[in-house]
Copies of this chain bind each other. A is one copy, B any other.
Amino acid sequence: MEETRFMLAEKEMPTHWYNILPDLPEPLPPMRHPVTQEPCPVDMPLPPPLFPDAINRQEFGADRWVEIPDEVQAIYRTWRPTPLQRAHRLEAALDTPARIYYKYEGTSQAGSHKPNTAVAQAYYCKKEGVSRLATETGAGQWGSALSMGCAFFGLECKVYMVKASYYQKPYRRNLMETWGATIVPSPSPDTEVGRSILKDDPECSGSLGIAISEAIEDAFAHDDTKYSIGSVANHVLLHQTIIGEETRRQMELADAYPDVIVGNVGGGSNFAGQFLPWVKDKMNGKKPDMQIICVEPEACPTMTKGPYAWDYGDSAGLAPILKMHTLGHGFIPAPVHAGGLRYHGMAPIICHLYRLGFVEARAVHQTATFEAGVRFARTEGIISAPESCHGIKVGIDEALQCREAGEAKTILIAHSGHGHFDLAAYDEYLSGRLQDYEYPKEAVIAALADLPGVE
């Protein structure tokens, strides 16, 4: 019987995160302060006092390897290592000579890769005497992970949840409450920002931009509180490298090495967590022909259509200004089901590597991603998150191309999580009601006119 599942024993587990910053052939541009627009110093890249010191030090850290604190490793082991699987059944269904592997983050208690950084951030806050965290959440994936992270360290957690989602996705809310978090629909009466919006428009259904502003205001307003972010930032990508570090060891067990690595990108933290530990082999010439493919929605094609420019990390202009591919911080993408991919920008590290030619990008329509997701469900069993279906779609495309070319490439899919809270989307697809959205060129042009104008 051919091997299917590659697991690590605890003693084989990675003990360090991989920091790519010192290995970059050109340095990553520092962030700019949202108000002064000046470059932030490397030792304090994130405007204080939002983040704990340890996170500030990690954001532009110089060490290639960052030790994972024992307390974080101990919690990782409540769900890690996550499985690396050979997709024998999908390969057979595609009749491809390609070997397809997937690294599956959906077995975490919160159902995605997000706890990898949530647990680390909660730990550093606890260690520095913080007793409370504030954050925003859209569809609820990040809010869930941070609620769980806070539960592990006995921290209070306040989640500003976009009001439309708060009422549309009560189960996500219940999940966070089960972990002990306090959830409010945003805009809320709990902040100045929220009160002022509600005064003008009591029925306002909210946006991620508003929720971020409320969470940041909350952290500023409470001495015991820090703010926490779930993607994009360098420290978040750093924490996510546990995924790729595990995968490298698991691929060794499988006696395999990837020719193609593919995964979905929204803010980019799951896919970067997988590919950063591999891209160095491309940079140092060990595997120069390795393809690393970022997959994004046609409805929010940041990398394939957006310029590489300075823009705010958030819609409201409160977060640092980042050099990244962007569709404009005011751009509001169509309501595709992959809520985690509806972000106007992209992690600066990914954009930097894209510009340097180490990664490529493709945009796909959501109907095609659900078709791939159903194929995956009926062969490998897993019901994938709509976000993850994007990577699966292009993984399948690559495998079919191998069939055409008669090439036995090794394809690695970075699978970010399960879709147990997204079944209404599958229902739409299966019943033929699912709609695709073209790239809204005019809206992007309008949004790009509003960039902060940093040179």
Asked whether B78 lies within 8 Å of A85 as measured between CB atoms, the reply is: yes
A34 at the B interface (CB under 8 A): no
Asked whether A177 lies within 8 Å of B430 as measured between CB atoms, the reply is: yes
A377 at the B interface (CB under 8 A): yes
CA distance in complex: A88, B80 (Å): 15
CA distance in complex: A449, B110 (Å): 48
A124 at the B interface (CB under 8 A): no
Asked whether B377 lies within 8 Å of A74 as measured between CB atoms, the reply is: no
Asked whether B151 lies within 8 Å of A378 as measured between CB atoms, the reply is: yes
Q: Which of A290-306 contact B (CB under 8 A)?
A: none
Query: Which of chain B's residues have a CB closer than 8 A to the CB of A193?
Result: none
Q: Which of A159-167, A195-203, A347-355, A379-387 contacts B (4 or more CB under 8 A)?
A: A379-387
A420 at the B interface (CB under 8 A): yes
Most buried by B among A78, A177, A383: A78
**Contacts A174-B423, A178-B430, A423-B178 hold; do A381 and B109 have CB atoms under 8 A apart?**
yes
CA distance in complex: A380, B115 (Å): 13
19 new A-B pairs (CB below 8 Å) besides A74-B88, A109-B382, A420-B420?
A2-B74, A4-B78, A5-B10, A5-B77, A5-B78, A7-B8, A7-B81, A75-B89, A78-B85, A78-B89, A111-B420, A148-B381, A151-B377, A151-B379, A175-B383, A178-B378, A178-B383, A178-B430, A180-B378
Query: Which of chain B's residues have a CB closer than 8 A to the CB of A115?
Result: 381
A421 at the B interface (CB under 8 A): yes
Count of A interface residues, CB-CB < 8 Å:
53
A220 at the B interface (CB under 8 A): no
CA distance in complex: A68, B4 (Å): 16
A437 at the B interface (CB under 8 A): no
A64-104 vs B: 1/0 string, CB under 8 Å?
A: 00000010011101111100010011000000000000000
Q: Which of A1-20 contact B (CB under 8 A)?
A: 1-5, 7-10
Query: Which of chain B's residues have a CB closer than 8 A to the CB of A381?
Result: 78-79, 108-110, 115, 148, 151-152
